[in-house]
């Protein structure tokens, strides 16, 4: 894979600006029409999905020039995929993939962001992408969870770096573990053997490092005997489900915890005992939603001629088949709880600001993005924002603190925990 592989897609961009907005017929309010945080913040067309495609195709033709502005454009992209979805409403072309390749090209040529270098060094030395003292599996103390290094399980639970190393988010994997136990799921964790999935390394543009993590993770899961990976982090979900498959590492079924919870609750293996009178809104994590759609291995080719058609017909990932309903179903099954949807949701949800490594490289921009999302959440009248990714939760909580508003941010599992 290289940016050259997407030359045709980059040339297809007709500069229509659809990539900047949610699908046009979904716009109900002028305040919530934007879908691309990068151009919403920086305004030059270059920051939009289409802008980056134009830059990519010109640089491919004329040579790459790694100016400060160019790198600012490349690294202030959340790689959230919203532009990809909006463009593909009308067009048959890839948008996010060439944008991602553009970043990789920069990194491969020694032009990375200084904060990324720090993070990647941490990954290489310690197998994690989040700072934090203490053991990776500290969250699991006292829970008596099976150790996959010693025994076989059916389900491998991967907590992820943020939930493991940031004590503020320990409650997520702890709650997941308790629920899975109660439901009688035969699961385990790798304790100190768990390593980063590599997903955020891929986002940052470090493909080789991602490969390294992938190969190691595949081994861990294989040795555990599990056929299913479950995670409560959207970035990890995307890594395992999409990236591993894309690069030929797919060997397992991958579920997000919300998908499993939906099943377990419906089967009665987790019982909702209490009602919860709450008005909530749900924030779709990008990497669980539009980017969580399964990878499509296309082996056809463009037919000769002037039409852009393929044989066999090419199926594009357009964000339709991400994980949208399971978290909502889980919430709907809670008596007394009402969901008030934000205007930008599902495949055209506004990003929380954490994607693409931006929460590390440009925390101000990440916070700005999260604050925009917070404004939207507040319009619903909900008192709680529910999400399904610790990175989203972290960003939204930062926005709440920054704005000083009285709004809670919970993970889906936290909501369920209050009812069981």
Site residues, another protein (CB under 8 A): 11-12, 14-18, 21, 23-30, 33, 39, 42-46, 51-52, 54-55, 58-59, 65, 67-70, 73, 85-86, 88-92, 305-310, 313-314, 316, 318-320, 324, 346-348
Nearer to another protein, 112 or 232 (CB): 112
Nearer to another protein, 90 or 401 (CB): 90
Greatest Cα pair distance, the chain, in angstroms, is: 65
Nearer to another protein, 69 or 271 (CB): 69
Distance, in Å, from the CA atom of 184 to the CA atom of 117, rounded to the nearest integer, reads 42
The least CB distance from residue 50 to another protein, in Å, is 8
Residue 365, both tokens: 């921009």
Nearer to another protein, 69 or 227 (CB): 69
- Rounded to 5°, the CA angle 369-81-89 comes to 120
Residue 199, both tokens: 């997903």
| Structural element, H or E, at residue 104 | helix 96-108
The least CB distance from residue 114 to another protein, in Å, is 19
Nearer to another protein, 217 or 362 (CB): 362
The least CB distance from residue 86 to another protein, in Å, is 8
Nearest to 196 by CA among 152, 155, 154, 165: 165
The least CB distance from residue 72 to another protein, in Å, is 9
The least CB distance from residue 94 to another protein, in Å, is 13
The least CB distance from residue 408 to another protein, in Å, is 28
For every residue of 17-81, DSSP letters joined together read -GGGBS-GGG---GGG-B--HHHHHH-SGGGSHHHHHHHHHHHHHH-----HHHHHHHHT-----
Distance, in Å, from the CA atom of 12 to the CA atom of 50, rounded to the nearest integer, reads 10
The least CB distance from residue 202 to another protein, in Å, is 23
The least CB distance from residue 304 to another protein, in Å, is 10
Find out whether 238 and 81 touch, Cβ atoms under 8 Å: no
The least CB distance from residue 316 to another protein, in Å, is 7
Nearest to 74 by CA among 116, 33, 35, 34: 116
Nearer to another protein, 12 or 228 (CB): 12
Nearer to another protein, 64 or 211 (CB): 64
Nearer to another protein, 88 or 136 (CB): 88
Burial class (CB in 10 A: 0-12, 13-18, 19+), 203: buried
| Structural element, H or E, at residue 100 | helix 96-108
Phi-psi region of 336 (alpha: psi -120 to 50; beta: other; left: phi over 0): left
The least CB distance from residue 205 to another protein, in Å, is 16
CB under 8 Å to 161, separation ≥6 — which residues?
Answer: 128, 129, 130, 196, 200
Q: 187 by DSSP, 3-state: which?
A: strand
Q: How many CB atoms lie within 10 A of CB 144?
A: 9
Residue 288 DSSP label: T
Q: 207 by DSSP, 3-state: which?
A: helix
Nearest to 75 by CA among 120, 97, 107, 36: 107
Nearer to another protein, 35 or 400 (CB): 35
Find out whether 158 and 240 touch, Cβ atoms under 8 Å: yes
Nearer to another protein, 54 or 272 (CB): 54
């Amino acid at each position: 894979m290289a940016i050259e592989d997407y030359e045709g897609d980059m040339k297809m961009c007709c500069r229509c600006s659809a990539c900047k907005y949610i699908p046009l017929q979904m716009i109900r309010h002028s305040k919530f029409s934007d879908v691309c945080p990068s151009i919403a913040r920086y305004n030059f067309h270059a920051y939009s999905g289409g802008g980056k495609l134009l830059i990519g195709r010109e640089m491919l033709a004329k040579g790459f020039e790694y100016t400060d502005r160019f790198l600012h454009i490349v690294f202030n992209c959340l790689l959230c995929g919203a532009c990809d979805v909006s463009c593909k409403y009308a067009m048959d072309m890839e948008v996010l993939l060439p944008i991602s390749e553009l970043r990789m090209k920069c990194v491969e040529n020694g032009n990375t962001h200084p904060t990324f270098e720090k993070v990647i060094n941490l990954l290489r030395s310690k197998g994690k992408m989040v700072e934090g003292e203490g053991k990776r599996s500290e969250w699991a103390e006292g829970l008596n969870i099976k150790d996959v290094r010693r025994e076989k399980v059916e389900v491998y639970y991967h907590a992820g770096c943020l939930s493991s190393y940031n004590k503020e988010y320990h409650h997520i994997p702890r709650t997941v573990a308790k629920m899975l136990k109660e439901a009688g799921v035969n699961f385990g964790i790798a304790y100190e053997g768990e390593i980063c999935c590599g997903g955020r390394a891929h986002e940052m543009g470090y493909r080789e490092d991602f490969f390294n993590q992938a190969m190691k993770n595949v081994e861990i899961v294989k040795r555990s005997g599990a056929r299913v990976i479950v995670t409560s982090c959207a970035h990890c979900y995307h890594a395992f489900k999409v990236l591993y498959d894309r690069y030929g590492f797919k060997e397992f079924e991958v579920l997000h915890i919300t998908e499993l919870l939906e099943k377990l609750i419906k089967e009665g293996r987790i019982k909702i005992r209490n009602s919860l009178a709450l008005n909530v809104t749900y924030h779709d994590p990008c990497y669980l939603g539009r980017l969580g759609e399964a990878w499509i291995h296309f082996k056809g080719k463009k037919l000769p001629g002037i039409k852009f058609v393929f044989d066999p017909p090419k199926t594009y990932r357009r964000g339709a088949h991400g994980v949208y309903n399971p978290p909502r179903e889980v919430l709907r099954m809670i008596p007394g709880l009402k969901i008030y949807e934000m205007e930008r949701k599902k495949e055209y949800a506004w990003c929380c600001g954490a994607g693409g490594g931006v929460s590390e490289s440009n925390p101000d921009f990440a916070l700005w993005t999260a604050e925009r999302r917070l404004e939207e959440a507040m319009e619903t009248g909900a008192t709680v924002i529910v999400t399904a990714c610790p990175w989203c939760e972290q960003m939204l909580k930062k926005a709440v603190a920054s704005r000083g508003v009285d709004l809670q941010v919970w993970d889906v599992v936290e909501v369920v925990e209050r009812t069981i």
